[in-house]
Structure 1
Amino acid sequence: MHYARTQYSYLTLLLTLAAGTFFTRVYLSALAEPPSYDSGPNFLMTSIMVLIVGFLFTIASLRITIDEHHLRIRMGLGLFRKKFVLRDITSVQAVRNPWYYGQGIRKWFWPGMWIYSVSGLDAVEIELKNGKKYRIGTDEPDVVRHCILRSSPSDPS
């Protein structure tokens, strides 16, 4: 069974658009200054603006892909990605994250797990043979759980 779905954080996309618009206006204002030694766009500030907008764009979506052998997650254009071998997954369950788990990529030390999320509170929690846990945010937790169970060579609970 194959599964592929991308979830978007519309708030992050809106913030990215707002930041990009603001930075473009600042950049164009700097270009319009009369020529002098200190006028015009600053390379460092321009680089920082591009990095901020790029980072916001990178965390604005989360793609989950499941095939016969792997569960893959990719945030944005793929700067942050993770691949799990399905036969290494010992359990999978649909869960609801507390609001304070937040969005993005983070490590929670208690309970010890990595969280990948861009929008909403629903997720699937997987546990691997090595004992590591991951929570992957999705707007279809039951579908993702079902696909992992159907695609997995072993029968996780």
Structure 2
Amino acid sequence: MEFKEEQKFTQWWLWLILIPIGILPIIGIYKQIIIGEPFGDKPMSNIGLVVFAIFIFSLLGLFILMKLKTTIDTDKIEMIFFPFVKKTTKWTEIKKAEVVNYGFVGGWGIRLWTKYGTVYNIKGNKGLAIELLNGKKYLIGTQKEAEMNEIVKKASGQQRL
């Protein structure tokens, strides 16, 4: 018995926003540094423009690299929100686990202080809500609601949650 899921930011509208943001520093560098004309009414220094470009490209690279990987088996639930968080929770540490529709929690990524505790999601509004024996809570987003629900029922039944 095992569940595996890997999610990435693949929303077309997100990339429709991010790609033009990535093109902006290229245009600025070309116009200001290569051609020699100031870029905009109040241009940055050349060094400032290069630092801005590095920041923007790093941000785009982060969106390309980010992924949410979930693995569930009879012993544990493992969640990796690369490159930020890795969590492994044994079933014996869990008070309650259920697949829920968590609605909108203010966006995607890592959301703190929600009614589900910390929410780790890439897209959608379905996820595995976990409450630990120590009272802490977190939620892992999923695009495979039915499959996750089935595996959680099997695993939690074996653990008698």
Determine if the TM-score, normalized by the shorter chain, exceeds 0.5.
Answer: yes
Gaps of 5+ in 1: none
Paired position in structure 1 for 2:35: 33
1:43 Cα offset (Å) = 4.3
Paired position in structure 2 for 1:71: 77
> Please, which moves more after superposition, 116-125 or 142-151?
142-151
Supply the RMSD in Å over aligned alpha carbons. Answer: 2.9
> Please, which moves more after superposition, 126-135 or 82-91?
82-91
Paired position in structure 2 for 1:21: 23
Paired position in structure 2 for 1:85: 90
Q: Normalised by the size of structure 1, how large is the TM-score? A: 0.74
* Kept after mapping to 1: 8 A contact 2:93/2:133: yes
Larger radius of gyration: 2
Identity over aligned residues, as a percent?
A: 22
Q: Count the aligned residue pairs.
A: 150
The letter for the 1-side match of 2:93 is D
The letter for the 2-side match of 1:71 is I
Paired position in structure 1 for 2:7: 7
Paired position in structure 2 for 1:103: 108
Gaps of 5+ in 2: 37-44
1:112 Cα offset (Å) = 5.7
Inter-partner Cα distance in structure 1 for 2:95 and 2:140 = 16
1:16-38 deviation digits (Å, cap 9, x = unpaired): 4443333444344455234xxx6
1:3-22 deviation digits (Å, cap 9, x = unpaired): 21122331444444443333
Q: Secondary structure at the match of 1:6?
A: strand
Q: Normalised by the size of structure 2, how large is the TM-score? A: 0.73
Determine whether 1:118 maps to 2:125. Answer: no
Inter-partner Cα distance in structure 2 for 1:4 and 1:96 = 19
1:68-87 deviation digits (Å, cap 9, x = unpaired): 43322223xx2122322232
